[in-house]
Amino acid sequence: MFSVDVVQQENGRNRGWCRADGIIQLVVGDAHHEAGALYGKEDAIAAADLVARLAEGRKDALVLTDMRRLRKTSSAARRVPTYPDTLRLALVVSSPVGRMLGNAYIGIIKPDHETRLFTDEAQAVAWLKPSVDESGRSR
């Protein structure tokens, strides 16, 4: 069961929290990444660990990840698996070109859970919300 008491947790260059609607929200990267620093494997592992802590053992996590601060990611970072019990993953990227490239990559790796890319956070949340019931639990 998730806890709405979790306001925010940070590890490395990632921030995350459980929203009142049950969605786990993550913001990856910081000002260094926005300026062009490489988001590496260690950063991606830290992000996956943060989601696992916020999920508190849930088997049906809905995850909203804001990637708009990232300019460069290493191939090793892209291969780090997401939280294994993710039901749906919405990735928010900064441009339509980033969304197109990300969709091509997702088509190649074929994740174990539903994954979509968005340039608009509200659309990403709307896509995740049909999977949330009135109590904030994933369906």
Tell me what pLDDT residue 5 has.
Answer: 45
Query: E strands along 24-113, which residues?
Result: 24-28, 38-39, 61-66, 72-73, 86-92
- In CATH, what number is assigned to the domain containing residue 51? 3.40.970.30
| Cα–Cα distances in angstroms (integers) from residue 27 to residues 34, 42, 99, 135, in the given order | 12, 15, 17, 24
Q: Are 28 and 65 in contact (CB under 8 A)?
A: yes
In a domain, residue 138? The reply is no
Domain boundaries, position 48: 9-131
Gap between the Cα atoms of 77 and 120, Å rounded: 23
Give the bridge partners for 122, in sequence order: none
Task: Look at the chain and report how many structural domains it folds into.
Answer: 1
In a domain, residue 66? The reply is yes
Per-residue pLDDT of the chain (139 residues; tens, 9 = 90+): 344 444 466 667 899 999 999 999 999 998 899 999 999 999 999 999 999 999 988 889 999 999 999 999 999 998 898 888 899 999 999 988 888 888 777 877 788 889 999 999 999 999 998 755 555 555 5
